[in-house]
C-alpha cells in the first residue's frame, strides 16, 4: 500500500497551491533542459548530468542541512533507491535530447507517469485518457519512429520508466523525512553515481561551470523541491497526470531556446497527450 492511500483528502486550497507548485516545476525543468542541450558541445551529455546533479546536491545539502541520525535502515533504503532513480533517469533523458527534439523526448518520457496514473487509479476513465495519450505517441512516431532516431527514442522511454519510479520514491521520501531532507540526501547519492561517469577537464571551464549551475538550479534543485512539496498533499496519480502537460512546455522551450520547430503532426501528437493529461486530472477530481 502506498503512503498516499493512508493520506486524508487535502483541503481545496492546499491542493490548488500544490498544483501551482507542479506547474512551476514543469516550467523550470523544461527550460532548464533546453539550456542543458546548449552545454552538450562543451561537456557532453554525461558531463552535463554530472555537473547538474553534483551542483544540485551541494546546494541542497547546504540549504537543507539534513540530519543523518535517527533514521531506520528502511529510510536509508528509500534514499538510495531515490538517488539511483534520479541519476539513471537524468542520464537517459539527456542521452535522448542529444538525439531527438526536446518536445518529442518529453512526450515519450511522459508515458511513464501516465502508466503510473492508470495503475494507481481505480477509475475506468483512466484507461480512456491513457489510450488517448497512446494515440498521440503513435502519431508522434508515425512510420516507426524512423525520423526520431531509435536510440534516442529508447532512451526517452527508459527515462519515462525511471520518472514513474521517481514519483513513487519522492512521495515516500517526503513521508519519511522532514521538509526536503530526503531529496537532498537522494541528490547526494545521485551525484556520487553520476560524477565518475561524466568527469572531465571540460567541466572546470568557467563558462561550463556557470551554465551548469544554471541547469542545476532550473532542472534539479528548484523543480524537484517543488514536486516533493506538492506530493505532500497531492495523490501520486494526480501528480502523474499533471506531468502530462510537460510535453507542451518542452516543445515551447525547444522552440524558444533551441530553435527546434515541430511539424503539424508532431504538434497534434503533443496536443493529444496534453488533452489526455487534463482529462485525467478532471476525472480524478470528480
How far apart (Å, rounded) are the C-alpha atoms in residues 172 and 184? 14
How far is Cα 171 from Cα 219, in angstroms, rounded to an integer?
Answer: 19
pTM over 0.75: yes
**Is 87 a residue whose pLDDT tops 70?**
yes
Q: What is the mean pLDDT of residues 210-220?
A: 86
Q: Looking at residues 264-277, what average pLDDT do you find?
A: 79
Q: What is the pLDDT of residue 139?
A: 75
Name which residue leads in pLDDT, 120 or 77.
77
CB 43 within 8 A of CB 94: no
Decide which of 2 and 132 is more confident.
132
Tell me the backbone φ, ψ of residue 87, rounded to 5 degrees. -65, -50
List pLDDT tens digits, range 4-50. Answer: 444 444 555 566 778 888 888 988 989 999 998 888 888 888 989 99
* The pLDDT of residue 20: 84
Contact 201, 47 (CB under 8 A): no
Question: Which is nearest to 231 in space by CA: 239, 222, 223?
Answer: 239
Amino acid at each position: 500500500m502506498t503512503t498516499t492511500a493512508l493520506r486524508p483528502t487535502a483541503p481545496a486550497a492546499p491542493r490548488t497551491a500544490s498544483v501551482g507548485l507542479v506547474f512551476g516545476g514543469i516550467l523550470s525543468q523544461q527550460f532548464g533542459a533546453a539550456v542543458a542541450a546548449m552545454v552538450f558541445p562543451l561537456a557532453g551529455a554525461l558531463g552535463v548530468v554530472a555537473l547538474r546533479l553534483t551542483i544540485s546536491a551541494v546546494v541542497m545539502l547546504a540549504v537543507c542541512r539534513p540530519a543523518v541520525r535517527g533514521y531506520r535502515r528502511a529510510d536509508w533504503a528509500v534514499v538510495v533507491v531515490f538517488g539511483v532513480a534520479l541519476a539513471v533517469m537524468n542520464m537517459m533523458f539527456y542521452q535522448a535530447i542529444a538525439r531527438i527534439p526536446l518536445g518529442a523526448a518529453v512526450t515519450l518520457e511522459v508515458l511513464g507517469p501516465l502508466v503510473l496514473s492508470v495503475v494507481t487509479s481505480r477509475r475506468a476513465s483512466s484507461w480512456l485518457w491513457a489510450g488517448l495519450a497512446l494515440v498521440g505517441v503513435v502519431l508522434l512516431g508515425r512510420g516507426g519512429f524512423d525520423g526520431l532516431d531509435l536510440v534516442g527514442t529508447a532512451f526517452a522511454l527508459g527515462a519515462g520508466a525511471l520518472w514513474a519510479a521517481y514519483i513513487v520514491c519522492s512521495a515516500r521520501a517526503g513521508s519519511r523525512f522532514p521538509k526536503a531532507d530526503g531529496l537532498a540526501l537522494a541528490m547526494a547519492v545521485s551525484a556520487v553515481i553520476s560524477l565518475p561517469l561524466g568527469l572531465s577537464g571540460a567541466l572546470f571551464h568557467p563558462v561550463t561551470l556557470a551554465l551548469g549551475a544554471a541547469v542545476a538550479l532550473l532542472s534539479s534543485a528548484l523543480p524537484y523541491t517543488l514536486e516533493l512539496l506538492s506530493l505532500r498533499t497531492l495523490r501520486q496519480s494526480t501528480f502523474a497526470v499533471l506531468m502530462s502537460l510537460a510535453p507542451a512546455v518542452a516543445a515551447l522551450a525547444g522552440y524558444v531556446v533551441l530553435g527546434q520547430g515541430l511539424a503539424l503532426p508532431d504538434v497534434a501528437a503533443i496536443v493529444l497527450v496534453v488533452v489526455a493529461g487534463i482529462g485525467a486530472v478532471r476525472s480524478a477530481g470528480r
